[in-house]
């Protein structure tokens, strides 16, 4: 697991349309049951996720180690530098230092719901629930904790613009309707409300290049995947289906991953071009723990050659799977 402890420089791979890719392998990375999403290491060789016994790092070669004993983590994020793993467990935020070893609990005034590292990996944004929902800025070394935005009834779908100066978040009203997409500067009072084109948004994800937002939107029958250029009122629908969830961007920002769950017993995982209808099914599998409310999440590896997925992404326990891709 030495690669998990080395500082890494993230290089964005070249764009690859879906039609140029094929699936070479789909398998579980571990028999462990995940309680959180799976976060990729910057070198795309390992994933970190929560379990009942703590947070583990599992290599695609099968090697495994525990990095934090905190049980039942609900969120994990690996910094782009490779040094830090952020963990949300029991409503608290922990930062694990993979270079020097050890972990530190960050003192924030409320229940932490989620966390995202900035592109540089030296600081991150946290959603904190405390008499309203707030957005906080936290430095990796712990010297900085600053409230950026709030209160709001709820904030979801944290992301960063690629310059590392602005945070993206989706706001809902108490009825669960999306009312705004926010672009919040981390230094100073600059904040901008982007148009919220769909009230019934299930998920919204900012692309890695910061120019596009992808939405999963509830419709009268099923749901749809739509893409919008930031600042434009025009959207393009690239996929439709039943219960869609687990939206994620490829590192190039040219493709999207998502999953469709059928009756809480089976799930199909897809990748699709962000500018057109070409798509590829990367997995079709029976859920280990059938549940009518189950959803499946996805996460692209930084090299664009694999997609991790599982029910743990949606806070339903389940193993982590990985589908590996290669050029045709």
DSSP characters over 262-279: ETTTEEEEEEEETTSS-E
pLDDT band at 237 (very low <50, low <70, confident <90, very high): very high
Q: Is the dihedral of CA 318, 98, 167, 132 positive or negative?
A: positive
pLDDT tens-place string over residues 155-195 = 999 999 999 999 999 999 999 999 999 999 999 888 998 87
CA–CA gap between residue 271 and residue 248 (Å, rounded):
9
* pLDDT band with cut points at 50, 70 and 90 for residue 3: very low
Token code pair at residue 225: 């995947």
pLDDT-derived band of residue 5, with 50, 70 and 90 as boundaries? very low
pLDDT for 72 equals 95
pLDDT at 10: 56
| Torsion sign (Cα): 263, 269, 274, 280 | negative
Q: Evaluate whether 29 touches 58 at the Cβ level (below 8 Å).
A: yes
Rounded (10°) CA dihedral 224, 228, 233, 235 = -40
In this predicted structure, the answer to whether residue 65 has a pLDDT above a threshold of 90 is: yes
Q: CATH number for the 14-327 domain, one of 2.130.10.10, 3.40.50.720, 3.40.50.300, 3.20.20.140? A: 2.130.10.10
The span from the CA of 114 to the CA of 236, in Å, is 29
Q: For residue range 262-313, list pLDDT tens digits in order.
A: 888 999 999 999 998 799 999 999 999 989 889 999 999 999 999 999 998 8
More confident residue, 275 or 67: 67
| 2 pLDDT higher than 50 | no
What's the predicted TM-score (pTM) here?
0.93
Whether 227 contacts 276, CB under 8 Å: no
Query: Per residue in 69-89, pLDDT tens?
Result: 999 999 999 999 999 999 999
Instruction: Classify residue 23 as exposed, middle or buried by CB count within 10 Å of its CB (0-12, 13-18, 19+).
Output: middle
Distance between CA 58 and CA 75 in Å, rounded? Answer: 16
- Predicted local confidence at residue 44, as pLDDT: 97
Domain ranges of the chain: 14-327
> Interior CA angle at 16 toward 11 and 22, to 5°?
115
Give the chain's mean pLDDT.
93
């Amino acid at each position: 697991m030495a690669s998990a402890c080395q500082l890494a420089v993230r290089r964005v791979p070249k764009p690859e349309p879906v039609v140029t890719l094929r699936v070479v392998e789909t398998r579980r990375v571990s028999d462990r049951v995940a309680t959180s999403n799976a976060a990729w290491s910057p070198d795309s060789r390992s994933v970190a996720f929560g379990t009942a016994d703590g947070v583990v790092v599992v290599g695609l070669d099968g090697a495994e180690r525990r990095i934090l004993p905190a049980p039942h983590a609900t969120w994990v994020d690996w910094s782009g530098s490779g040094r830090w793993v952020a963990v949300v467990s029991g409503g608290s935020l922990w930062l694990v230092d993979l270079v020097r070893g050890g972990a530190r609990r960050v003192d924030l005034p409320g229940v932490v719901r989620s966390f995202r590292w900035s592109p540089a990996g030296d600081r991150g944004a946290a959603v904190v629930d405390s008499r309203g929902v707030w957005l906080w800025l936290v430095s990796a070394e712990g010297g900085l904790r600053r409230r950026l935005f709030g209160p709001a009834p709820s904030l979801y779908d944290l992301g960063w613009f690629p310059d590392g100066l602005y945070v993206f978040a989706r706001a809902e009203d108490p009825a669960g309707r999306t009312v705004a997409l926010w672009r919040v500067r981390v230094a100073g009072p600059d904040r901008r409300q982007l148009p919220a084109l769909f009230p019934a948004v299930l998920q919204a994800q900012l692309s890695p290049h910061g120019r596009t937002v992808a939405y999963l939107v509830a419709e009268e029958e099923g749901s749809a995947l739509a893409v919008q250029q930031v600042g434009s009122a025009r959207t393009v629908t690239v996929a439709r289906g039943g219960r869609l969830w687990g939206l994620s961007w490829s590192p190039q920002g040219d493709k999207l991953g998502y999953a469709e769950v059928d009756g809480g017993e089976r799930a199909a995982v897809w990748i699709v071009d962000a500018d057109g209808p070409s798509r590829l099914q990367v997995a079709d599998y029976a859920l280990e723990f059938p549940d009518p409310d189950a959803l499946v999440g996805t996460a692209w590896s930084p090299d664009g050659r694999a997609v991790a997925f599982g029910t743990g992404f949606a806070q339903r326990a389940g193993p982590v799977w990985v589908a590996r891709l290669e050029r045709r």
